[in-house]
A and B are shown apart, each in its own frame.
Chain A
């Protein structure tokens, strides 16, 4: 199997050529080793960091997964993200959902969010 892909690990965006013969993965076109690791993951188990927003008391709160999640699970995870409601004040780095993908990846806030002013 031969596949061409763009490495998304950095803005350089190298075009990678990946060949998979049996269990062996060979990568060319990568400027640095991260490209090779990315390509290997792409042809076995692609992963992405998921970013989104959740509803908080004072408005939308930006969030991300603490590490890359399985690509095939992204829409499943999004359902949980969309159903979630944050309560009270939230600080950047706060864990909002401890295990969002069933594999221990957390959903964390990427900004401070204030509690809705009551007046």
Chain B
């Protein structure tokens, strides 16, 4: 089989990328989705708050996914479900399996939109037994919202990522008692609005600089021991406290799912754990693009859609107008910036480019500073936090002659 464009993943990123590529003129395309329905993780995110930035309305996850699925269907874009991609080669050969058999598709362009998975390391470092009742927050979400089973009645949550916060509220609504959320860092990894509406609304304590040091219980979790941590994130002796519970949820972050990408030999960014891309979201391999949570973990799906459309349009341009020789301007993460995407810009680009980045530490009163040769730009923010992605806009062609572009974040004087 041959296809002009193969989109790997039918979640919000893959669907938006496919629709954007179609609208830019690509007709010979297919979306490969491993689950029985497209929509990705949004299917189990039954809460609202999606689309506020993009559509100025508060949608639930299934409603947001549906909007993009309807767009794809209206264009008759083929979506192969229950289809698992097993391999991608640097020559853009995509191998996949489904109930009809094993296939190989020669693609002229590929968009990577495989999304992310939950980190598991939080669960590994804890002493004590391994009884039933330990779940990742996303797995618990699937149990409750898709299968209709409540995983437990008394819950302690480790990590204050958004899924953990959302599940604190969800399990409370379903009749469980959430004892506390322990966050090892001095700030939450989730959005401020989720702390307000998921924890504060229900009187659930958020214990910053706290961790779980051990789990007790033979068959089922019976309790955890929590403790305060010092600046090195080590438990402080004497601060231990035993909390009875039957369930522990881990919400310690997400990581892009890049096995296929690695298999194709595409370089990854050590910080984002996603591909290195230019402003069109093209990876190091010509004609291979990446977008959404496989590129870097987003906190808002609105930005996933925005990024996916960039990738879709770039793929269309590559397919319809051919590859262009580009001069690249490297983009560097400066002071207090943990990562920045894209990692390089087409130096001759005329249109404004949004740079997405995260800060390393929270600041009240911050200045985002962009430096490139003689070019300087600074933007003020009331507050910045690692849990909330920041954006700043530049026009590459206005940075004439710069050797690199650097974004830093300083405390406002």
Contact = CB atoms under 8 A, between A and B. Distances in A.
Interface of A: 5-11, 13-15, 48-53, 55, 59-60, 62-64, 71, 74-75, 78, 82, 92, 110-111
Contacts of A48: 197, 201
Contacts of A6: 192-193, 195-196
B168 to A, nearest CB: 14
Size category of the B interface is 35 or more
A64 B60 CA distance: 8
Contact of A11 (B66, B193, B201): B193
Given A6-B196, A8-B197, A110 B46 contact: yes
21 contacts: A8-B193, A8-B196, A8-B197, A11-B53, A11-B300, A13-B191, A13-B193, A13-B388, A48-B201, A49-B58, A51-B46, A51-B47, A51-B60, A52-B46, A59-B146, A60-B146, A60-B148, A62-B46, A62-B60, A62-B145, A64-B48
Contacts of B193: 6-8, 10-11, 13
Interface string B62-87: 11001000000000000000000000
A10 B173 contact: no
Contacts, number: 82
Interface in B146-196: 146-148, 170, 173-175, 191-193, 195-196
Nearest to B62: A111
B323 interface: no
A9 B192 CA distance: 11
5 A-B pairs with the lowest CB-CB distances in the bound complex, closest first: A13-B192, A111-B62, A62-B46, A6-B196, A8-B193
A60 B196 contact: no
Contacts of B48: 49, 51, 64
A85 B292 CA distance: 36
Contacts of A64: 46, 48, 60
Given A6-B193, A11-B52, A78-B173, 11 more contacts: A11-B49, A11-B299, A14-B382, A52-B46, A53-B46, A78-B174, A82-B174, A82-B175, A92-B62, A92-B63, A111-B43
A60 B174 CA distance: 14
Find the residue from B146, B173, B299 having the highest chain A CB count within 10 A: B173
B359 to A, nearest CB: 15
Nearest to B53: A11
Contacts of A13: 191-193, 196, 388
A52 B141 CA distance: 11
B132 interface: no
B315 to A, nearest CB: 28
Contacts of B264: none
Contacts of B147: 59-60
A7 B197 CA distance: 9
Contacts of B52: 9-11
A5 B196 CA distance: 8
Contacts of B388: 11, 13
B41 interface: no
Find the residue from A15, A62, A78, A92 having the highest chain B CB count within 10 A: A62
Find the residue from B52, B145, B148 having the highest chain A CB count within 10 A: B148
A74 B170 CA distance: 12
A64 to B, nearest CB: 6
B144 A53 contact: yes
A6 B188 CA distance: 14
A14 to B, nearest CB: 8
A60 B145 contact: yes
Interface in B40-57: 43, 46-49, 52-53
A111 B62 CA distance: 6
Contacts of A82: 174-175
A100 to B, nearest CB: 14
A64 B49 CA distance: 12
B60 A110 contact: yes
Nearest to A63: B46
B145 A53 contact: yes
